[in-house]
Structure 1
Amino acid sequence: MSEKQMLEQIITKTIDTVGASREEIFKIGEHSRNEYQELEKELVEVRLKVGELIDRADRTDVHAKLARSRLVEVSKNFNKFTNEEVRTAYEQANEYQVQLAILRQEEKQLRDRRDTIERRLLTLKDTIERSETLSTQMSVVYNFLAGDLRQFGEIVEDAKEKQEFGLKIIEAQEDERKRLSREIHDGPAQMMANILLRSEIVERIYNEKGIEEALREIRDLRIMVKASLAEVRRIIYDLRPMALDDLGLVPTLSKYLKTFAEHTKIKVRFRNIGKEQRLSQQLEVALFRLVQESVQNASKHANPTEIEVKIEISEKRAVIFIKDDGSGFDLNEKKEGSFGIIGMKERVNMLKGEIKISSKLNVGTTIFISVPLITE
């Protein structure tokens, strides 16, 4: 067996081992996450039961005090009451005392269960966070071992840059998956859980407080459902605007930039200079992502007050011009955020186009993108 074959065999076994370990870590995380959600539901129920028991115990305590007072009165004036009245007073006092003891014991057991659940939730949360971190690290290792970084050889000149670029792409993919997972869990999933809980409470409110309170709770539920639906639509739109397939690039950009301006409070001026026409699906998605990446980078890093976006589609080329009046940056300075620019350049290169970026500190940044319209 040659050295090359031995090396390939070692790498293959390593990839299999890393892949299996990654799957096991993922299963541990999923199991912990499912248990966490189940315990969250149980904690809500236990807290409700504790509140109900406290109310019942308080009412029983009042009855027990009255029964004891009655028993004291009967004991002091024994000759004034019949044997039946004395027996009844004693039995009632004893019965309420027993009921109160039972309720206090149930309350203590529920409080202990509540404390146990809360401690378990803290442990599970730590386990979930650790498994996510380990899973991301293992995925980076797995993809780096299994991937072929030679495709970046023409772009990245030396081995160190090649390694950094490949790892950054993999890390960005994993971070995006994690962000999306957390966004769904903390947004729509959490809202749906609250809606489910609130819907179970409606009937109780109706029985205890009447139709008006129940209707008010239902109206609050409707608001939560609308908010959840809007959040789901926002997440889907960020992944891939459906309007891109239906309306095309220019209308979708117009809609996106309008929404972007409303959310960021940045003034955005959008102009379509050329004719409005449909392009290939791949090209429309790529151009949309380039504009999206540009305006998001400006918003995140440059703190601009105004962004200008112009697009011109001719018979042979699509040209995009993005300009902001933000803080700008030094093009020769290599910093953490520069990976976004590298990704944009790579995307333009894949389209056989050109991209020019000019920036001045405290003046702003201008991005010029030109891509040929290649027809099959």
Structure 2
Amino acid sequence: MPIDIKTLDNIIKETIAAIEKSKEQLYFIAESARQEQQRVQDQIQDIKEQVAIIIRDVNTLESDERKSRIRLMEVSRDFRRYSEKDIKQAYEQAQAIQIKLIMLREEEKTLRFKRDHLELTLKRMKDTAERAEKLVSQVGVAMQFLSNGLSGLSEKLENLHDMQQLGLSIIRAQEEERKRVARDIHDGPAQSMANIVMRAEFCLKLLEMNPSLVKEELISLQQLVRHGLQDVRKIIFDLRPMVLDDLGLIPALKRYMEDYKVQNGIHVEFVFFGNERRLNASLEVSIFRMIQEALTNVKKHAQASNVIIKMELKSKRINVYVKDNGCGFNRELTKPREDGSGYGLIGMRERLQLLEGDLTISSAPGKGTEVSFWIPIENNE
């Protein structure tokens, strides 16, 4: 899936902004943890003071409770000296002290439990604050690294992605070319050769049965061999035009354009300026393939009926201009597809970069497409 570089830029900016926001939130968490830690410490101190007061009250009540039990025992033993009212009063007083003592002990137990729980909470608060402060520091380092490391990343990724997809498209193109050549050989020369073998066997039988018909059959066989030879030559030309090596770039282009007209029904006008001469073999192949790619794009996408190609050969550079009257396209909305197609222009641009040349594309919906490029000759000789 192609990388949307603008989206990637937005993602990077949003990521940095999110990390900055996370840093602020971590700082807030650390500060909140410190404040909560102080609040818990104050609560623990307050509980400790309450427990101390309760312990003092419990000690006092325990002393009072012992005295009240002794008093109750005295009153209960001496019925002559103490009345029933005195016994009841002593009993109620002892019972009240016991109840109060039980309540204070329960309150002490509750406060101690709360104190222990708060001490555990305090420990967690301390850990949280320390971790948050450490994370704030680490996020700060990460922010600095990201801000420095991500600068220009989108451009690097775009170049890397284009190169990767170009490589994949080259592999796909090679496989498609192999399939095409195999199909052409199977449907053309291979079928012809099989037919030739059958016709040759038929000729051998005719020699025995009716020799007068052999001549006519041999003439037909000769025609079949000629067609097969034409198919082989066409396949060879598509793979590597021999005329390009034998006669040069201009004759090879003219031959290719003639075949292109016949095969696709698209009129091609070729205009050449300058003195025709041989160039470096690699340079001639590159120019031929780029014009071939431009015409392939016209056939696949442009829906054009007419193409004009102008080539100007100067002493130090070669200029090429290709214009069609097709449907055109919006360059901003046109992206390479997931299947690897759509990298023809990228391939031309990459090839031109290697040759130290440059490519210009001008197109708009309904206004056709213009592709022009130039290549220095001296640097590539």
TM range (shorter): 0.5 to 0.7
Q: Which amino acid aligns with 1:234?
A: K
Q: Map 1:71-90; keep pairs closer than 5 Å.
A: none
Structure 1 residue 354 and structure 2 residue 355: aligned?
no
Q: How far apart, CA to CA, are the structure 1 residues paired with 2:283 and 2:313?
A: 12
- CA gap 1:350/1:262 in 2 versus in 1, 3 angstroms: same
Q: Which amino acid aligns with 2:268?
A: V
- CA gap 1:340/1:159 in 2 versus in 1, 3 angstroms: closer
- CA gap 1:271/1:220 in 2 versus in 1, 3 angstroms: same
Q: Deviations over 1:6-40 (max 9, x none)?
A: xxxxxxxxxxxxxxxxxxxxxxxxxxxxxxxxxxx
Which of these two proteins has the greater Rg computed from alpha carbons?
2
Q: Which amino acid aligns with 1:278?
A: R
Number of aligned residue pairs: 223
Q: Do the aligned residues in 2 keep the contact of 1:318 with 1:370 (CA within 8 Å)? A: yes
Q: Which amino acid aligns with 2:179?
A: K
Q: Do the aligned residues in 2 keep the contact of 1:156 with 1:162 (CA within 8 Å)? A: no
Question: What is aligned with 1:191?
Answer: 192
Q: Deviations over 1:273-320 (max 9, x none)?
A: 122122111111100111111112212222211110110010111000
- CA gap 1:255/1:169 in 2 versus in 1, 3 angstroms: closer
Q: How far apart, CA to CA, are the structure 2 residues paired with 1:214 and 1:327?
A: 56
Question: What is aligned with 1:249?
Answer: 249
Q: Deviations over 1:131-189 (max 9, x none)?
A: xxxxxxxxxxxxxxxxxxxxxx9986265544433322222222222322232233212
Q: Map 1:29-108; keep pairs closer than 5 Å.
A: none
Q: Deviations over 1:222-246 (max 9, x none)?
A: 2211111001101111111111122
Identity %: 42
Runs of 4+ in 1 over 4 A off after TM superposition: 153-156, 158-162
Question: What is aligned with 1:282?
Answer: 282
Following superposition, the deviation at residue 248 of structure 1 comes to 1.6
- CA gap 1:278/1:158 in 2 versus in 1, 3 angstroms: closer
Structure 1 residue 175 and structure 2 residue 176: aligned?
yes
Q: Do the aligned residues in 1 keep the contact of 2:273 with 2:311 (CA within 8 Å)? A: yes
Other structure's SS at 2:366 match: coil
Q: Map 1:331-370; keep pairs closer than 5 Å.
A: 331-332=331-332, 333-336=334-337, 337-370=341-374
Q: Map 1:1-376; keep pairs closer than 5 Å.
A: 157=158, 160-208=161-209, 210-332=210-332, 333-336=334-337, 337-375=341-379
Following superposition, the deviation at residue 215 of structure 1 comes to 3.1
- CA gap 1:217/1:370 in 2 versus in 1, 3 angstroms: same
Following superposition, the deviation at residue 264 of structure 1 comes to 2.1
- CA gap 1:323/1:155 in 2 versus in 1, 3 angstroms: farther
- CA gap 1:361/1:207 in 2 versus in 1, 3 angstroms: farther
Q: Deviations over 1:199-237 (max 9, x none)?
A: 1012224544x3454333322212211111001101111
Question: What is aligned with 2:115?
Answer: none
Following superposition, the deviation at residue 369 of structure 1 comes to 0.7
Q: Give the number of the structure with larger relative contact order, counting CA–CA contacts within 8 Å between residues 6 or more apart.
A: 2
Q: Which runs of 5+ in 1 are unaligned?
A: 1-152
Other structure's SS at 1:157 match: helix
Q: Do the aligned residues in 1 keep the contact of 2:166 with 2:347 (CA within 8 Å)? A: no
